[in-house]
Amino acid sequence: MNFITDRENSAAELYDMATEASVNAYAPFSGFKVGAALLDENGRIFTGVNIENSSFGATICAERTAFVKAISEGSRRFTAIAVAAESQEAIPCGICRQFMFEFSPDILIITGENRRELNIRTLEELLPIGFRLQEGRQ
């Protein structure tokens, strides 16, 4: 998938993958199933879903699930992420925005109510002042 040269079709394809992934979400409390499809700088795609928990603080969003999968497999830089939900546009929460900023402050975020009405935003639009600690300090 060459996101740079064919942005519109690539965004729709990534959104479709997020929609397909959302079927596997575990959302027994909210009923709000969300899927994510994350594109790394090498063209690999990682999907994720939201996973709720009886201890609500242990719930993880689809975006972070996709990032955790990708990072655990060696990816560190990402170009785009699509987030899809069944019934409405799903916008990444604040925790997810900061999580994404750690690895790719310039990532594009694709959301929408369906594949024909997509919104493509930069992370900076959603998180104007993100922060990162200097690497190497422990």
Given 8, 41, 63, 73, which residue is catalytic? 63
Separation of alpha carbons 129 and 138, rounded Å: 23
Question: In whole angstroms, what is the distance from residue 111 CA to residue 36 CA?
Answer: 10
- Residue 88 DSSP SS3: coil
Distances in whole angstroms, Cα of residue 4 to Cα of each of 9, 32, 94, 135: 10, 31, 26, 29
For residue 135, indicate whether it is catalytic.
Answer: no
Residues annotated as part of the active site: 63
